[in-house]
Copies of this chain bind each other. A is one copy, B any other.
Amino acid sequence: MTRMVEDIERVSVGLGERAYDILIGPGLLAGVGEAAAKLGARAVGVVTDETVAGLHLPTVERSLAGAGLAFDTVRVPAGEASKSFDMLARVVDGLLAARIERGDLVLALGGGVVGDLAGFAAAILRRGVRVLQAPTSLLAQVDSSVGGKTGINSPRGKNLIGAFHQPSLVLADTATLDTLPERELRAGYAEVAKYGLIDDPDFFAWLEANPRAVFCAGPDRIRGIATSCRAKAAVVARDERETGDRALLNLGHTFGHALEADVAYDSARLVHGEGVAIGMAMAFRFSAALGLCPEEDAARVERHLSAVGLPIRVSAIPGPIGGAEALFAHMQQDKKVSRGRLTFILARGVGKSFVARDVDPARALDFLRRELAPAA
């Protein structure tokens, strides 16, 4: 079967002189060379991880060569541990060795880790080289490849070091999702559900009615991903640097990041999307506990996330978890802390999330204690 043009969805991110398109559909990686050439690049520095290289690098290299572009590839180990200063230095050095110049292009081929690391490397290489994001995981396609947040982790917390660096193009080849382990696909789905929970109750209802939509190849998957990208693009266009509204995208992330920090980013125990799923369920339970949100809406969130196999409670994480105080301390080292005050994303219901900057720390701590109680 030949690829049909109708298979491809286009989402535009309206950021003035930094505006760019997200293309979503199966088979796009085969056209990455043509896309890079159209952007005026002469050379392309591919950054990818060992796993993705084995699956998709041949397609990409064939396409780049076919478009007459010079290219060189920097490979990093797969996994969150690559979001480190050491690996950043190695990637930047590899791109310099490849003589990637200001008019050229860095191609981030991989999931969220590669996108964040390569995007950051592009941001600081010669004080800024363009990046083409080619996300190969669901998480990266619906979230991290869009919006320009790039960065690495510090031993003091996740994503504490980085840059805002918008891509020049995002190519989300949905066929790559068929090579993704089920657990990764599920984890990415947490971010899809998030967009419904933030401000699109119809989308959430559609996901409830079609829980396999995004998991299986076909037009529904593309629709789900495009809807997610469109939601993210709208928020990013309103608030590129997260001075206000963009914080909504952190629904589930304040709790989630604290859990990830607590397991020391051990992906065998918890991957980002799972942390977000538990975090979103917690945000809704916390909202309900504060009397802001109907219990029924919190239950709906739990039901849908559970239906697709995502965890909704801290107790789902294998192994020991720190106490409420430890989690609270992690939350206070979050980037989004302002004047020592925590920012929570809470909800008045499904699709009715809001930024809360004045939550009583004592109530948050009390909520964490109840969440972590053995009976919970």
Which residues does A use to contact B, with CB under 8 Å? 42, 85, 88-89, 92-93, 96-97, 99, 101-103, 120, 123-128, 149, 151, 154-157, 159-164, 241, 333, 335, 337-340
**B339 and A125 contact, CB distance less than 8 A:** no
Residues of B within 8 A of A157 (CB): 96
In whole angstroms, what is the CA distance A101 to B340 when docked?
9
Min CB–CB distance A203 → chain B (angstroms): 28
Residue of chain B at shortest CB distance from A150 = B127
Report the Cα distance A258→B163, complex, angstroms. Answer: 29
A334 shortest CB reach to chain B, Å: 10
Residue contact A127 to B339, C-beta cutoff 8 Å: no
**Provided the pairs A128-B164, A339-B42 are in contact, do residues A156 and B103 lie with their beta carbons within 8 angstroms?**
no
Closest to A120 in B: B124
In the bound complex, what is the Cα–Cα distance between A156 and B123 (angstroms)?
18
27 of the cross-chain contacts (CB-CB < 8 Å) are: A42-B339, A85-B85, A85-B88, A92-B161, A93-B154, A93-B155, A93-B156, A96-B154, A96-B156, A96-B333, A97-B156, A99-B333, A101-B339, A102-B335, A103-B339, A120-B124, A123-B163, A124-B124, A124-B161, A124-B163, A125-B160, A126-B161, A126-B335, A127-B149, A127-B162, A127-B335, A128-B241
- Whole-angstrom distance between the alpha carbons of A333 and B126 in the complex? 11
List residues of chain B with CB within 8 A of the CB of A149: 127
Query: Across the two chains, which residue of chain B brings its CB closest to A88?
Result: B85
Q: Are B93 and A126 in contact (CB under 8 A)?
A: no
In the complex, which of the residues A85, A124, A149 has the most CB atoms of chain B within 10 Å of its own CB atom?
A: A124
Beyond A123-B163, A126-B161, 20 additional contacts (C-beta under 8 Å) are A92-B154, A92-B161, A93-B154, A93-B155, A93-B156, A96-B156, A96-B160, A97-B156, A99-B333, A101-B337, A101-B338, A102-B335, A124-B163, A125-B160, A125-B161, A126-B160, A126-B335, A127-B149, A127-B159, A127-B162
- Of all chain B residues, the one with the shortest Cβ separation from A85 is B89
- Residues on B with C-beta less than 8 A from A161 are 92, 124-126
Q: Lowest 7 CB-CB distances: which A-B pairs, in order?
A: A85-B89, A126-B335, A96-B156, A127-B162, A124-B161, A92-B161, A127-B164
The CA-CA distance from A89 to B85 in the complex, in Å, is 7
- What is the minimal beta-carbon distance from A127 to any residue of chain B, in angstroms? 5
Cross-chain contact B160 with A163 (CB below 8 angstroms): no
Q: How far is the CA of A159 from the CA of B127 in the complex (A)?
A: 8
Residues of B within 8 A of A154 (CB): 92-93, 96
State A82–B43 Cα separation when bound (angstroms). 31
Please give, as numbers and ranges, the residues of chain B lying within 8 Å of A89 by CB-CB distance: 85
